[in-house]
Amino acid sequence: MAVSIIDSSIFQGIFSSDAMREVWSDENRTRKYLDIEAALARVQGRLGLIPADAADEIVSHCRLDQIDMAKLRTQTERIGYPILGVVSQLNALCRDKLGEYCHWGATTQDITDTATVLQIREALELVDADLAAIGKALAKLAKEHRLTPMIGRSNLQQAIPVTFGYKMAGLLSAVQRHRERLVQLRERVLVGEFAGAAGTLASLERGAMETQAGLCAELGLAQPVIAWHTIRDNIAEVGAFLGLVGGTLGKLSMDVKLMMQTEVGEVYEPYHHGRGSSSTMPQKRNPISSCYIHAAISVVRQHAAALMDAMVADHERSTGPWEIEWIVLPEAFCLMAGALKQARAVVEGLEVDAAAMRRNLDMTHGLVMSEAVMMGLGPYIGREYAHDLVYDICREALKQQRPLLDLLAEHPQINKHLDRAALARLCDPANYLGQSGTMVDRVLARQAPSRP
């Protein structure tokens, strides 16, 4: 019986992905425990810390199909942690009590933390793949609409012209930074844990550091400099990263929602028959994916804060903060997968209405070009005086419901410096795009072939 939206048979495909749910599943988590126990046995067998035949026997049983998951649940509920249940089952499976060498010198948190890091590694690969696809789609939009003029907005009011390519390039630049952060984050986060009861590896009289190094090498993880049982900035950084990615996806979804408004109509989420319709209003085309993105990333942001709380751990092994990670880390990744999936669908199939963008640019009959006019008049009558003069003319244009150009051309303090043709050039949005194209090109230049 599923109660979480992530595991709901109805909603799971909307708010998460099958691949990410598999990463954080009980089966994959338990498989990671077994992988670590097998690696530990191999390393300690090579080092002569445990008998070679014990290592071989332990490794032969470190398979998920040999673990009784129902029994593991019962053991976990009784003990409080699943690791001892896994180890006890392995021990029972091994012949001649060779299983007693399983988990040699390790503690529960060593195996749990290392398993979590292995899951994070898999999960980050999925996140990066989606970020790469979103970046590719944004780059395509930025290139195609490099000089497609549209109105820029400030405080939800029309400001000055920009280009749609510029808008997409801004989002692309954030995606590029997220992928850079991910590269940097991996070096700090993909680190194993093998440190014993209080982190000092006192449980092994010899070969302690060699075991730690060998175990991490077997698993493809970096060796820790010191135990991190209660030093959790690495896990919190993962949460912060997910929060940052979510913020960018939220910005995308917010703009799409606003641009899909009936009165705006500049872009639309990809069309699928019946998608976004209303049970009572057949004409509607709701921004469904953007709504899902907004909901998912809002929860991820709260989970990032919870992972910060988990950093406040007591002494060398904590009483409660650690378990916060068990709750929120899987859900944060799963919700992020859903938000990324929805965002990817939006940008890969976004419908752009350039004619509507131009229509909205022209709806004020030139008022949005007031800054351009002010700057154009500045050399003749001074910028501040030009500001006040254009301000008054804009109010008059609104009052008379006439094009700004007409009033500018009629004004004696203006037409003696600039004729109507010159003023018309100042009032053309296509002539006031600033460095939009150059900025788009600079972002696209960072989208190297090696960064799909």
Residues acting as catalytic residues: 278, 317
Question: Which token pair is 237?
Answer: 């950084």
Which helix (H) or strand (E) segment holds residue 123: the answer is helix 108-144
Local structure of 163: helix, strand or coil = strand
- Within 10 Å of residue 202's Cβ, how many Cβ atoms? 12
Report the alpha-carbon distance of residue 232 to residue 297 in Å, rounded.
22
φ/ψ of 397, rounded to 5, equals: -60, -40
φ/ψ of 209, rounded to 5, equals: -70, -30
Helices (H) and strands (E) counted in the chain, each on its own, are 19, 4
Report the alpha-carbon distance of residue 332 to residue 49 in Å, rounded.
39
Is residue 402 within 8 Å of residue 391, measured between CB atoms? no
Local structure of 162: helix, strand or coil = strand
Which helix (H) or strand (E) segment holds residue 161: the answer is strand 157-163
